Amino acid sequence: MANLVFLLVALCLYALALRSPGAACGYVLAGTALEQCAQALVPIANSQDTLCNYLTAGAVVVGLLSRILHDRATLPRLRTTSLWVLGLLGYCYVTVLWSIFPGTTIGALNRAVPYLVTFVGMAPLLIRSEADLRHCLTSLLFSTLFALVLLLLFAEWGARGVVLPGKGFESNPLALAESAGCLLIVTAFAPVRDKLPPSLRWALLATAIGVTALVFLRTASRGQVLASVAATLAFSVRQRGGGWIVLALGVGGLLLFGFLPEEVAKNAERWDPEQMRDAVDTGRVHEAERLLSFWSNSSPMHQVLGLGHAASQDPRLLGNYPHVVPAEVLAEEGIVGALLFAGTIIVAAIAHMRGLRASDQASHRARAALAALLCFEFVLIWKQGSLLGASPLLLLLTLAPEEVRFRRRAERSSGGAGTRAFAPSRLDPPRLRTRVR
């Protein structure tokens, strides 16, 4: 029965991607929560680890086909930020030529190919209008909320993560907390809230805040809590109700602490200041220092060009990634790769800020959500993951609002159908400005 329901849900998601291609991009961003939910509750997904990845990629392909065939439009050109991201990734692949551990580098790069093709190659092409961006955020909200609710109600939880049947280990709690942080941000800014009746709007807010607080509590992931709250507050200047949602999350967290003492006691030591300091020093700073020390003592060529991607994961060095992506990039991609990485972040950040300043009331919600999600994912790379493992960050970098310029004239000519095009042509005549005296 679970397999049948899973297949029916997948078909519904495909139908939605066919009708609204931007929704498939939301599935990609919600992929971690959907995958863990399926593997914990659906036998067919539990027995085939890559099934959810293939289904997500298939939804993206369906969205692209819908864009080409039904919208009668060609795929948009690559945006400036996409070129920066592709240049950085291309350099990572070139480092195999001088990697100190070429076998480790090739293995890590090959494993990342399917994710990079989906996140960086295909998914950004689905967002070419403001309507697409709204569909993406809406599907991200409801997909993540749906998956986390099912996990909280029906999955077996271990120390911090979900117990996967027959696997003998728990799912990644950091990934679940990251999904909960995205849910909080999208709930605070999602344009869909304005289209709901007041009763449904408050029910959605209450459910999302309760689910987010409970996932944060069960996973005991401290950095995700602080990063998501900070990102929501930072972009709530022009956002009505964003600050109140964060306040409601805090109140909900306090209530959970009071009504669920067993949950609190289970991971109480993780909130001890001394333990938190040791986790940062031992698990992050110490490993990053070891990697950077090895890099600084290497040859000048490796200092400039890098030790080779994923060199830190080789047992002869660290045996794992250092959980601090900027330090990892500096050591493995060298000074050249670090400059490419910094340039990509800076170009995207400037584009997001310009897009927010230029946005009107109708588009500000979606752009603020996009900027807050990017800020959240950027903060997380200082404490978890690796460069190619930060696929959501790479996707969000390619969706910078500076490249998401909408032609109101195209929308008016189409009768307000919400088909504003991205990146208008330079040949378009400038808009006339009328001075009112």
Predicted confidence (pLDDT) per residue in 323-368, tens digit: 899 999 999 999 999 999 999 999 999 998 888 888 777 688 888 8
Tens-place pLDDT, residues 386-408? 999 899 999 999 988 754 444 44
Q: What is residue 255's predicted lDDT score, i.e. its pLDDT? A: 59
Phi, psi of 382 (to 5 degrees): -85, 0
- Rg over CA atoms, the chain: 22
With CA atoms as reference, report the closest residue to 307 among 101, 9, 37, 7: 101
Distance (Å, whole) CA 136 – CA 349 = 20
Cβ atoms of 419 and 129 closer than 8 Å: yes
- Tell me the average pLDDT of the chain: 82
Is the model's pLDDT at 427 over the cut of 70? Answer: no
Cβ atoms of 101 and 331 closer than 8 Å: no
Structure tokens at 276: 């938190």
Cβ atoms of 97 and 388 closer than 8 Å: no
Q: Which of 174-188, 241-255, 273-287 has the weakest average pLDDT?
A: 241-255
Q: What is residue 139's predicted lDDT score, i.e. its pLDDT? A: 94
- Mean pLDDT over 225-244 rounds to 72
Q: How many residues does the chain have?
A: 437
With CA atoms as reference, report the closest residue to 366 among 143, 132, 189, 234: 189
Q: How far is CA 152 from the centre of its chain?
A: 21
Distance (Å, whole) CA 79 – CA 421 = 13
User: What is the tally of helices (H) and strands (E) in the chain?
Assistant: 20, 0
Structure tokens at 434: 């009328």
Cβ atoms of 371 and 81 closer than 8 Å: no
Using alpha carbons only, give the angle 392, 398, 399 rounded to the nearest 5 degrees. 95
Structure tokens at 265: 């006691």
Distance (Å, whole) CA 397 – CA 378 = 10
Structure tokens at 158: 């271990």
Coil, helix or strand at residue 384: coil
Distance (Å, whole) CA 35 – CA 49 = 9
Distance (Å, whole) CA 407 – CA 129 = 9
Structure tokens at 230: 């900070």
For the chain, the maximum distance between any two Cα atoms, rounded to a whole number of angstroms, is 74
For residue 209, what are the contacts with CB-CB under 8 A and spacing of at least 6?
184, 187, 245, 248, 249, 252
Q: What is residue 433's predicted lDDT score, i.e. its pLDDT? A: 37
Coil, helix or strand at residue 317: coil
Coil, helix or strand at residue 214: helix
Is the model's pLDDT at 243 over the cut of 70? Answer: no
pTM: 0.85
Better-predicted residue by pLDDT, 70 or 216: 216
The DSSP call for residue 434 is -
Q: How far is CA 133 from the centre of its chain?
A: 14
Q: What is residue 199's predicted lDDT score, i.e. its pLDDT? A: 79
